Structure 1
Amino acid sequence: MASPAISKLPTVGFELSKTYAIGDVHGCLDQLQRLVELCERDAGEGRSKLVLLGDYIDRGPDSRGVIEFLMDLQKWSPDEIICLRGNHEDLLLAALEGEDAQLKWRQNGAQATLDSYKAKTPRDIPLKYIDWIRSLPLFHDDGMRFFVHAGVHPDKPLDLQRRRDLLWIREPFLSSDKNFGRLIVHGHTPISTGTPDHRTNRLNIDTGAVYGRALTSAIFSGGMTAPVGFLSTSPIGDR
C-alpha cells in the first residue's frame, strides 16, 4: 500500500488549518483513497484533520481494504485522523454476540464484508480489526461542530444523547430545525441527489458512494462553523 496521503506534522506552534469530514464509505476503497489525496492537496502545507463519520464496511467491494487503509492512516497521524463508529460497525460487533444479531447484520450488507475477509462468520474476522472497531468513538465535538454518524435527538442535550440515536436516528432529527449549539455533521441517510444537504443546524454528507454516486468531504476552515467547500469523487467507471 502506498504511503498515506496525510502525514503527521509537529504540534508545537501550529494551528489546525482545515478539517475535512468524510461521509459513509461502505467498502469503496478506491474512492476513499482518491478523496484523501484531494483533501491533502487542498490542505497544502497546512496541518489538517480528517473526521470520518462511520460505515466503513458492508455493501461495497472492499471493506477490509477500507479498514486497513484507515488503520494505516491513524498510525501515521493518530491525532489528526478521527474515525467514528457507524451503525454498520455496530451491527458487526453485535453479530459476534448472537445468532439473531448476526441475521440482522447479514440482512444489511454483511456478505460483502465477510467476502472481503474470506470469512464465513463474523468470528472469522481477525481480532485486530474487531479491536479497532470496538475502539471507535461515537462522536467528535470540536466546539463549533458535532460530528456523528447518524445525528442527535432534538429532545436531549448533546451531552445526554443515547448511543442508539447517535448511530441510528433519522426522525425526528432530520426534520428538526432546532439550534443544537453546534452544526451537526452527519451521514447515515443517503442523499439521492448525490450532493450534500446543508441546513442551518445540520449537514448531511452521505452522498451514496456505494450506490454509484460520489464520496464527499466537507471542508471546514478557520473560525467559520459552516463548510467553506466540498470535495468529492465518483466511481472510477463514471469519470
Structure 2
Amino acid sequence: MKQTFVVADLHGRLDVLEAALARIEERSPEGGKVVFTGDYIDRGPQSREVIERLRAGPKPGWRWVILKGNHEDMMVRSRLRPAGDRSVRDDERWLANGGTETLDSYNGDIPHSHLTWARDLPSIHRDKHRIYVHAGVDPQVPLSGHDDSILLWLRYPAGKDVQYPGGLHTVHGHTPNPEGPELYKGRTNLDTLAVRTGRLVVGVFDDDRPGGPVDLLEVKVD
C-alpha cells in the first residue's frame, strides 16, 4: 500500500518538523511521499532553520512535495520585489503577521536564494484521489481557474464540509484549530496551531483509496 503523509503549518518550529519526520520514517521505513502544505515561516523562532531543512531535501527513498503558503507569499511580496515596486502595505502586512520573527532568525538578511525558493514553490498538488493545497479550493471554480488568491488565502466557513466535484478530497491547513485536525467527507484540515501548542498531526493517506486519512500520526513537542 503506497501512502502519502501530509504535514501542515510549521511556522518556524524546527523541533516539530524533525519530530514529525522521525515519526513518518518510523511508520514507513521503506520510504514514500510527504506533502508539506505551506507556512514554514513566521511567528516561530526558527524560520531560517525550517527552510534550510526543507531545502536540504529528503533521505533516499523519499519524495517531498513542498507547497507554498500565504506566509511565504507575504514574505516574497515584501522582500523580493524591488523597493520601488513594493508597497509599504506589503511590508507592514508581513511584519505584523510574524515576519519580524522570520527576520530575527536570519539576523535581518534573508538570502536571495531562500526568497526565490519560496517564490517558486508550487501552490497545488494533485493525485488520483486528492487535492493538496495550503488554504483550500473553491468547488465553483475549475482547478485551472484557481490562482493564489484562492489556493493560499481561502477560508472555509467553520464546521462546513466542502466536496470538490469528481469526488476529489481536499487536504489543507491554514485555518488553525488547536483541537484539530478537522475531518470531513470532502476535506481534511491539518492545521493544529503547532507553533503555539507544539502539537502537530500528520495525515496518512492511502494512494489507492479515495477520501480522508486512513491514519493520523500525532507528535507533541513541549
What is the TM-score normalised by the length of structure 2?
A: 0.90
* 1:95–1:101 contact (8 Å) kept in structure 2: yes
User: Could you say which residue in structure 1 is the equivalent of 2:194?
Assistant: 209
* Counterpart selection for 1:200 from 185, 199, 204: 185
Between the two proteins, what is the percent identity of the paired residues? 38
* 1:62–1:116 contact (8 Å) kept in structure 2: yes
Q: Which runs of 5+ in 1 are unaligned?
A: 1-15
Note the C-alpha offset of 1:31. Answer: 0.9
State how far apart, in whole Å, the 2-side matches of 1:106 and 1:78 are: 38
Q: Which amino acid aligns with 1:229?
A: D
Deviations along 1:100-146, whole A, 9 cap, x unmatched?
A: 20111011011110000000xxxx31111112111200010012110
State how far apart, in whole Å, the 2-side matches of 1:128 and 1:173 are: 37
Note the C-alpha offset of 1:17. Answer: 2.0
User: Could you say which residue in structure 2 is the equivalent of 1:190?
Assistant: 176
State how far apart, in whole Å, the 1-side matches of 2:174 and 2:61 are: 24
State how far apart, in whole Å, the 2-side matches of 1:211 and 1:26 are: 9
Report the count of equivalent residues: 214
What is the TM-score normalised by the length of structure 1?
A: 0.84
User: Could you say which residue in structure 1 is the equivalent of 2:132?
Assistant: 147
State how far apart, in whole Å, the 1-side matches of 2:144 and 2:111 are: 34
Deviations along 1:37-72, whole A, 9 cap, x unmatched?
A: 110110122x30010000000001100010001111
State how far apart, in whole Å, the 2-side matches of 1:115 and 1:60 are: 10
Note the C-alpha offset of 1:28. Answer: 0.6
Query: Secondary structure, in 3 states, of the residue corresponding to 2:175?
Result: coil
Q: Cα RMSD between the aligned structures?
A: 1.9
User: Could you say which residue in structure 2 is the equivalent of 1:162?
Assistant: 147
* 2:16–2:198 contact (8 Å) kept in structure 1: no
* Counterpart selection for 1:64 from 26, 34, 48: 48
Quick check: 1:102 aligned with 2:91? yes
Q: Which segment is superposed worse, 23-32 or 124-133?
A: 124-133
